[in-house]
Chains A and B, each alone.
Chain A
Amino acid sequence: EPEVTQTPSHQVTQMGQEVILRCVPISNHLYFYWYRQILGQKVEFLVSFYNNEISEKSEIFDDQFSVERPDGSNFTLKIRSTKLEDSAMYFCASSEGWLGGYTFGSGTRLTVV
């Protein structure tokens, strides 16, 4: 069964550093997303991406964050100048259409120390 692949599975970074989280969505999917889940809290929407541009972004997704699809397969989330409160599980997801169900990757656990 096709899957969304995320790397790394766990990233530890020092406060103030930049991190790049990587994702390979399912190949025939057209919509891509980043979500995050702080431990014990809800899954929160960050950004959706379609046709090489951001479709929607949440209030969380401020200038500290950016997304990119550098080639035909990868989809990245960059977090600049990380803060302690950025520590969370970050999930990439993809879907064929924007009303359909999403397939989530296994996540990257980001720990900012």
Chain B
Amino acid sequence: QKEVEQNSGPLSVPEGAIASLNCTYSDRGSQSFFWYRQYSGKSPELIMSIYSNGDKEDGRFTAQLNKASQYVSLLIRDSQPSDSATYLCAVNSGSARQLTFGSGTQLTVLP
């Protein structure tokens, strides 16, 4: 059973701070890793993808991947109230044509 684990939160940070979200996965064969943002009652929206070890930056977002530790993280710099949402970690294993999602971390950015 492929598992993706996230701290459910809630995580609260003040506006302008760095939010750090973490995710671990069980399948060592996993090849692609994603962070989705989901506002309440809405669909998941892809914000970052990462495929190799190290950091990947896109604007205020940085994804970090460590395959040896089976760990993925997302940093949000200069957090804004509009970043308040649930952040979903999703993993695609090498043999599976599907994404396995974590349960999500609820982030609140306080003005």
Contacts and interface: CB of A to CB of B under 8 A. Distances in A.
B61 to A, nearest CB: 14
Tell me what chain B mostly uses at the interface: helix, strand, loop, or mixed.
Answer: strand
A68 interface: no
A99 B44 CA distance: 17
A100 B97 contact: no
Contacts of A105: 43
A31 B51 CA distance: 19
Given A45-B98, A106-B43, A99 B32 contact: yes
A65 interface: no
Contacts of A91: 43-44
A61 B72 CA distance: 29
B25 interface: no
A79 B34 CA distance: 29
A58 B90 CA distance: 16
Contact of A106 (B42, B92, B96): B42
